Amino acid sequence: MKSFKYVLMGALLFGAAAPVMAQDDNKAIIDQAVSVIKSKPANLKDQVKDFAKKYKKNAEVLTALGKACLEEKDTANARVFADQALARDSKYAQAWLLKGDIAVSQNNGGAAATAYQNAMYFDPKEPEGYYKYAMVQRGVDPAGAAQVLEDLRQQRPDYPVDQLIGHIFYNAQNFEKAAEAFAKVADVTKMKPEYITEFATATWLLGQREKSIEVCKAGLTVNPRKAAWNRIAFYDYTDLKKTDEALAYADKLFNASDSAHFIAEDYTYYGTAMQQAKRWDDAVQAYEKALKLNEGNNKQMGIINKNLSDVYLQKGDYDNAVAFLEKSMAGSDKPTMDQLDNLGSLYTEIASKKLKANDKAGSDEAFKNADQVYGRMLEAYPNYANYCNYMRGQINANLDPDSKAGLAKPYYEALVKSLEAKAEKQNSEIAMLKQAYLYLIVYDFNVLQDKVAAKAVAEKLLVIDPENSVAKQVKDM
């Protein structure tokens, strides 16, 4: 009984209103019919048939009813109304737009493009056809889509074409073209808010930090509580290492933005800004929040753990510095060459800090750990043998400062043998070779007391470093 009551009410609402309406009062008819469609009465199917029959000669009403059906995801009836509208008036652009929208809802880009082209042809001054055609084409031909919008500019010079072109290229991830188009807009504050966000994001991604800040600030004059603009300005200032400004916009993002939904990147950037400000504990807290929000994203967690390692190193907490760097490597099956190099460099930095603090035992332990890391690197990446031997030579020279044990000798000799065999040497290789020669000269002269051997190495060093004072002295002896 209750359902019948609502069916009757729906029928009476439409049926009672229709007779008193003038046939040309399309708006009133459309509003009434759309209301019935959206209320979804039980006899909607029958009423839809009645609408189709009653207004079969009114293309405007039929198209509006088709749009209402499409909004309710009733594509079958939407198509019926669209086809009926076109049967009445095959040149009615709005009906062609509806046909295109139906095709888009069914992922039929070709049919959508054809329908939108027809809409442009029959009503060249209606912007919607150009824009929707461009949106369909943006993935396969963003340049062609932009050209269609340039055609719209000829028809409608008043229309914000540059904003649309920027939006098209932004969605195609051509941020350079997007930024170029957005930059043609005379007054950023007159742009749609979503386009301001895209403009600011595109310039940020392109590394145009100052421009991105300018765009954000323009938007914030209109809405100072817009989270997206406070966020991007915060990121920009952090990237520029302008820490005071970065923290000011971070405060606006976290405490003075409407509808702000905080993301992992926010806390990563906040940790970076706090790190720049040397507020180590705040940086740790921010990075820990970023880790929680990035669970499952091994790449991002690796980056954040590396950042935490850097913070703990600055704090002088060497155990945590190593622990978090090792965590940053744990996400991959095989540590990369860069990861191993970072770990080796961390141990050498710890060794240097301990040496300055007169902790010789702690320094030696850290140097030995670094040596083991570069040994691992040599096994995993034999193509980097020269670099590994150079680093191990440096490390063992620190473990054996008077060279009496010759700890660095085998690594420098291996480096010399490899580099001397190369006809063409890079500047970095020449620098490594100089260091190796210098060590061997000192070792031969001071430890072995073999002046002939020392002199032979000195002559080699003078070939690549003619002004080396040690080599000159040894040669002239």
Contacts (Cβ under 8 Å, ≥6 apart) of 307: 268, 271, 272, 275, 283, 287
Mean pLDDT per 10-residue segment, the chain (477 residues): 35 36 64 78 76 83 90 90 93 96 94 95 94 87 89 92 93 94 96 97 98 98 97 98 98 95 97 98 98 93 95 95 93 86 96 95 97 96 97 97 95 97 93 96 94 95 94 90
Burial degree of 53 (CB within 10 A; 0-12, 13-18, 19+): exposed
For residues 362 and 352, what is the distance between their CA atoms, to the nearest angstrom? Answer: 10
For residues 271 and 292, what is the distance between their CA atoms, to the nearest angstrom? Answer: 13
With b for 16 or more beta-carbon neighbours within 10 A and e for fewer, the 315-351 pattern comes to eebbebbbebbebbbeeeeebeeebbbbbbebbbebb
For residues 400 and 442, what is the distance between their CA atoms, to the nearest angstrom? Answer: 13
pLDDT at 116: 95
Q: What's the distance, Cα to Cα, between the start and end of the chain in Å?
A: 118
Query: What digits encode the pLDDT tens for the residues 344-368?
Result: 999 999 999 999 999 999 999 999 9
Query: What digits encode the pLDDT tens for the residues 224-272?
Result: 999 999 999 999 999 999 999 999 999 999 999 998 899 999 999 999 9
For residues 56 and 81, what is the distance between their CA atoms, to the nearest angstrom? Answer: 9
For residues 472 and 461, what is the distance between their CA atoms, to the nearest angstrom? Answer: 9
H-only helix segments in 337-408: 337-356, 360-380, 385-399
For residues 260 and 223, what is the distance between their CA atoms, to the nearest angstrom? Answer: 13
Pick from 88, 98, 145: which is nearest to 119 by CA? 98
For residues 321 and 346, what is the distance between their CA atoms, to the nearest angstrom? Answer: 8
Q: Is 258 helix (H, G, I), strand (E, B) or coil?
A: strand
CA angle 167, 182, 110 (to 5 degrees): 25
For residues 427 and 356, what is the distance between their CA atoms, to the nearest angstrom? Answer: 31
372 and 408 in contact (C-beta within 8 Å)?
no
